[in-house]
Amino acid sequence: MADLPSFLAAPPRCLFFTGKGGVGKTSIACASAIALAEAGKRILLISTDPASNLDEMLGVALSDAPRPVTGVAGLEAMNIDPEAAAEAYRARVLAQMESATETERATVREQLSGACTTEVAAFDEFAALLAGGVPGFDHVLFDTAPTGHTLRLLSLPAAWTGFLEANEAGASCLGPHSGLKTQEQRFRAAMEALGDAGTTVIVLVTRPDRAALAEAARSAGELGALGLANQTLVVNGVFRASQADDPVAQTIERTGQAALADMPEALRRLPRDDVPLRGFDMVGLPALRALLRPEAEPAGLATPLGGVATPRVPGLDALVDGLAARGHGLVMVMGKGGVGKTTIAAAVAVGLVARGHAVHLSTTDPAAHLAMTLGGEMPGLRVDRIDPKIETDRYVAKTMETRGRNLDEAGRALLREDLRSPCTEEVAVFHAFSRIVAEARSSFVVLDTAPTGHTVLLMDATGAYHRQLTRNLEPATGAGRIVTPLMRLQDPEHTQVLLVTLAETTPVSEAAALQEDLRRARIEPYAWVVNRALSGSGASYPLLRLRMAGERAQVQRIESGLAQRLFLLPWQAEAPVGLAALQRLVA
């Protein structure tokens, strides 16, 4: 396997792929799994991403049990289904309560209905696979959620250890604390396996882009702080133009090489492999084979093209005009990691301010980049983020002040210990989100959300709160008098959801899946935004023309039934960073 990346030359039993959303983490994981299987190894590929798209990429309907990948002997794949994992977790906890009353069981069942339970249950499945091993396979490859979500899960074992040591009695959103010792031991074993270089290599995937490299460097440091120093770096999508007369190609190459030349020191110390940019989407076995082995590229994937028609789609200025005419509201910017949600959110906020409106711009993303994108202050624009630590401290203080006001010292101590649960953060973030939703009744609020999987969990929490509140309060207050955060999200006069995507197969499919999730919650997206479209750039380089043809096909797919409204932001020679650049996008 000398022609493959160095991290596949003599891989340990487990390979753990992580990185910022949109860098091609799943593509690299799939291509690696195929390469190892075709070298004669038995391979299991597992996705731990709540918004997994392994099925589409491999062309196989997957479940929470290993299934063979047709066309690749020796390769099996599976998804860890968060909802199925949570249901199995609830069943295990309730099975330990044989002597409990039905009222006690109902209380625990309610405690186990939150998004935090879903997160930890999914991690529990992952930990069991990592710590216990999977018999019959030479290598197990884990394709994880975008970085912020993954780091949050990896920090859970340490958080739970401290919590359980100080609070062995009582219960939380994970059920009775006495039943959590097994999970704690399993989590600890999983972290030991992850940190053992003889067992696992952590593959940090990034792109030749300053923001992606900065995120990878931050992840490398945070993983190291968790004791996971056995890392290697893969830079995906490295572009080198052999044609000197295409200014677009020259700009893309120059920008990428400059980003790599200024790579953070934390990444320079890591072993590194570069993977070239390809002209086709990474969907299907032929494309995935060709990602790491160009000599395997079928002729049909790279046919030279003539001219490529430019899509006739309105720009961000038209989008902001339509939003501004409403006078107020919550604008939620959602989508897969790496599609440019933060840029779109910042540009929309700046555009609304330029049209005379005061705007509150915030983010729920654990890896927030708003300040870097804006690069300055603007009168009429208030910028902040929902910081989990700050919100947790605020929630704990308020809870102690209200629920703890009439408790004796022993009761206050018990309440304080219960609030040390890692699940408190989930509740606190939801309360902050609810405040922002309500604020948009009289002004503009633009919310840059976390990548899809993390946002879906937040929406689940919103739905669970709605059901609990309406069940508990509606009989006493009368129908129609309760307005929950979910009801505000469902109201098109209050909330406009923007789905951001790239004009590529996987991001479009993921946005379509997110749209279906939202529609099941009776939330109808206002518009789709296609970001960084090369079409219309005038590029003549064959590989870029191939990508433009693929873009046109995806725009037609969106126009033919996915989006009520579609807007397009063209590729920019320079990344739109700073207030002046953002203003140009929406002028």
Residue from 18, 27, 150, 373 carrying the catalytic annotation: 27
Does residue 329 surpass a pLDDT of 60? yes
Q: Which one has a higher pLDDT value, 452 or 349?
A: 349
Q: Taking residues 289-306, report their average pLDDT.
A: 67
Does residue 477 surpass a pLDDT of 50? no
User: Is 399 a domain residue?
Assistant: no
Query: Do 479 and 352 fall into the same domain?
Result: yes
Q: Could you list the residue range(s) of the whole structural domain that residue 353 is in?
A: 316-387+440-586
The amino acid sitting at 581 is: A
Annotation marks residue 27 as catalytic: yes
Query: Do 372 and 237 fall into the same domain?
Result: no
Annotation marks residue 22 as catalytic: yes
User: Across the chain, what does the average pLDDT equal?
Assistant: 80
Residue 44 confidence (pLDDT): 94
Q: How far apart are CA 313 and CA 567, in angstroms?
A: 6
Does residue 500 surpass a pLDDT of 80? yes
Q: Taking residues 382-396, report their average pLDDT.
A: 84
Query: Do 354 and 208 fall into the same domain?
Result: no
Query: Do 377 and 447 fall into the same domain?
Result: yes
Annotation marks residue 25 as catalytic: yes
Share of the chain above pLDDT 90, in %: 31
Q: Determine how many CB atoms are found less than 10 A away from the CB of residue 406.
A: 8
* CA-closest candidate to residue 71, choices 368, 285, 389: 285
Query: Do 236 and 292 fall into the same domain?
Result: yes
Residue 474 confidence (pLDDT): 47
User: Is 120 a domain residue?
Assistant: no
Does residue 476 surpass a pLDDT of 50? no
Query: Do 380 and 470 fall into the same domain?
Result: yes
Annotation marks residue 133 as catalytic: no
Residue 156 confidence (pLDDT): 59
Give the total number of structural domains in the chain.
2
User: Is 557 a domain residue?
Assistant: yes
Element (H, E) at 529: strand 527-533
Where does 199-289 show beta strands of DSSP type E? 200-206, 231-238, 272-276
Structural contact between residues 187 and 123, judged by C-beta atoms closer than 8 angstroms: yes
Q: Which one has a higher pLDDT value, 190 or 178?
A: 190
Choose the final residue of a domain: 298, 333, 360.
Answer: 298
User: Is 178 a domain residue?
Assistant: no
Burial 243-282 (b: 16+ CB within 10 A, else e): eeebebbebbbebbeebbeebeebbeebebbebebbbbbb
Query: Do 327 and 223 fall into the same domain?
Result: no
Does residue 471 surpass a pLDDT of 70? no
Residue from 18, 26, 363, 392 carrying the catalytic annotation: 26
Q: Structure tokens of 9?
A: 């030359």
What's the pLDDT band for 469 if we cut at 50, 70, 90?
very low
Lowest mean pLDDT among 167-176, 370-379, 549-558: 167-176
User: Is 128 a domain residue?
Assistant: no
Q: Tell me the helices (H) and strands (E) count for the chain, helix number first.
A: 23, 17
Query: Do 261 and 341 fall into the same domain?
Result: no
Q: Taking residues 361-370, report their average pLDDT.
A: 72
Query: Do 221 and 321 fall into the same domain?
Result: no
Q: pTM of the prediction? A: 0.75
User: Is 109 a domain residue?
Assistant: no
Query: Do 242 and 364 fall into the same domain?
Result: no
Annotation marks residue 336 as catalytic: no
Angle at 346 between CA 513 and CA 249, to 5 degrees: 80
Q: How far apart are CA 290 and CA 286, in angstroms?
A: 6
Query: Do 263 and 371 fall into the same domain?
Result: no
User: Is 493 a domain residue?
Assistant: yes
User: Is 171 a domain residue?
Assistant: no
pLDDT digits 0-9 by tens, 127-174: 777 766 677 899 999 888 766 666 666 665 555 555 555 555 444 545
Does residue 81 surpass a pLDDT of 50? yes
Structural contact between residues 115 and 460, judged by C-beta atoms closer than 8 angstroms: yes
Q: Taking residues 320-329, report their average pLDDT.
A: 94
- 444 forms beta bridges with 329, 359
* CA-closest candidate to residue 427, choices 399, 448, 405: 399
Residue from 24, 175, 256, 453 carrying the catalytic annotation: 24
Query: Do 288 and 363 fall into the same domain?
Result: no
Q: Structure tokens of 47?
A: 């996705």
Residue from 118, 501, 506, 535 carrying the catalytic annotation: 506
Residue from 49, 124, 365, 460 carrying the catalytic annotation: 49
Annotation marks residue 449 as catalytic: no
Residue 308 confidence (pLDDT): 58
Q: For residue 252, what is the domain's CATH number?
A: 3.40.50.300
What's the pLDDT band for 424 if we cut at 50, 70, 90?
confident
Residue 453 confidence (pLDDT): 46
